[in-house]
Homo-oligomer: A and B are copies of this chain.
Amino acid sequence: MQTMDAIRKRCSLKTHLSSRPVDAEDVQAVLHAATLAPSARNTQPWRFVVVQGKEAVDSLVDAAFSEKSAVIREAPVIIVACSRPADGATVEGREYYLYDLGSAVQNLLLAATDRGLVTHLIASFDEDALKRELRIPEDVRAVVATPLAHPSTASYDEAAEERLRERSRMDVSELTFHDVWGKRIGHM
């Protein structure tokens, strides 16, 4: 898939998860993509817990996710993205472990989209319960989780169609300033 298509088509599709197994090679590939992100001082502070199999997935969902996200129990794989603040760089007083994790997981999501796999980034979970369930050390933050699954529809595009039609994003012109903060130019 072309890069810009993957960037455009990546969206949150927890209601379109097939329980069909995902190949180990696909899991490996999306994790590898994550590792190619940049990080401050090349600290690579991203860590992943890959939860697979009906029993483990059910147990995790029951322990840590709300009713609203419970549909992700359909997924054959849930990836929990973590970062330990001490593993990241602090540059001129700014901590980068969360920023860097965001970059890595974005690569992961795009690589999944590229393979026709569906994802759905979830921040809303009970971190303490999740960490207990996955035996994640106290000094590590569990930041986001995503199911990784084949679409329950005939194709990724079919799964994504409605969601992409309803996508709501601010326009570049609302988010971008020129030369100095607050200065907008119309035609950019």
Contact = CB atoms under 8 A, between A and B. Distances in A.
A126 B41 CA distance: 16
Contacts of A104: 102, 106
Nearest to A30: B172
Oligomer: number of copies: 2
A70 interface: no
Interface size class of A (residues with CB under 8 A): 35 or more
Given A94-B127, A143-B99, A49 B4 contact: no
A168 B36 CA distance: 9
B169 A123 contact: no
A24 interface: yes
A172 B99 contact: no
Contacts of A46: 175
A181 B102 contact: no
Given A40-B123, A89-B123, A6 B3 contact: yes
Interface in A79-102: 82, 89, 91-96, 98-102
Given A91-B123, A123-B91, A169-B44, A180 B103 contact: no
